[in-house]
Structures are given as structure tokens and as C-alpha cells.
A = this chain, B = another copy of it.
């Protein structure tokens, strides 16, 4: 995917991760958001996209026969816009295996925990119940499990006194807003590939993702 990248972004809520993508990578280095979709017709994410002149569409489950039909229509619309990478940015629906098969190793998600710890819903609440001192964010490829796909980037956040979600969420959202655009930039540069020796792991081109190269 070197040399530019056409993105579709899916979001269900306020769209702050979409905004980070629009502010941080859209229109730079050949990266373009070409479609923003939602399961919720009223999602603020759709307005944010429209303000930037980006085509939007909503695919509420209630208007379709079932999830397969909904995801089929969604995939058709995304593919029709020429998207090469689908970014789940606060999208509160599981995508079907057929949807994933349409975009192989090209659907990514941002999750508010250091996976494999605390997959699924209410990740920060799960972490607080365990009394952890380190929280974090993961950007990963989506597979057929719940937050089980190969990890692309992670970033940690040490909050040793956190007791309530509000002690964690604002800082964690700020990390998401950095990490998701960073992952998109790396994919656009061709710096991210599945490990040929182990398809559960992602290899990063050294020197691209911060930290210390080996």
C-alpha cells in the first residue's frame, strides 16, 4: 500500500477518532478519507465528515434483513468509493466474516486497552476492577474474534492512582487520537506487514514507530 492510501472510516458516536484522522492524516502524503459510514444515521461523526466534503452513509441494522445484508451493503458502498483500508474508529458493531473477506488484512480497529488484556466492551472498567496501574491503547487488524486480531501498535499510559473511568478516559482518548493516525501513516508507507513466519504477529519496519530499533 506504499504511496498513498484511500480510507473508509466507520464510527458510531461523537467521532473524535475520525476528527483526529481528518486533522492528522487526511490530505497528507497521499492519504485520503474517501468514505465515512455509520450504523447510526444521527452520529456526529457523519456531520464532521460532511463538513470536510467527504461522502457519508448510514447503514442502520433496522433497515436491513440482517447483519449479513447490512454488512454486504456497507462493503459494497465502501468498495465503490475505492477504499483500500477500513478504519473502525469507535464503531460499536461487530463486522461479519464476509465483510472482512472483502478487505483482507485491511480492516483496523482502535481499542482502549493493552490487548490481549481486556478485550470487548467496557475495557477501562475491566482494567480498573483488576487494579492495574498501566492502561493503554491498541491498534490492531480486525479478525473474526472480538479484539483478537494481530497487533499493529500499542501505547501505554501509567496512571497509578486511577480509581474511576473518568480518571482514565480523557488521557486514554488523547492517546487514541495519536496512535490511530500513526498506524494509518505506517500502513500508507508500507511499514506494516504480517509476519510470514507467524500470521498472528505484525512486523514493523524498524525506525518507523518511535521507540528504539533493535
Binding site for B on A (CB under 8 A): 114-117, 129-134, 136, 150-151, 153-156, 158-163, 167, 195, 198, 200-204, 206, 209-214
Contacts and interface: CB of A to CB of B under 8 A. Distances in A.
A132 B151 CA distance: 6
The majority secondary structure among interface residues of chain A is loop
This chain: copies in complex: 2
B131 A161 contact: no
A131 B114 contact: no
6 contacts: A114-B114, A130-B200, A133-B151, A133-B211, A156-B156, A163-B214
B131 A200 contact: yes
B154 A132 contact: yes
B162 A158 contact: no
Nearest to A117: B117
Contact of A161 (B162, B167, B211): B211
B209 A160 contact: yes
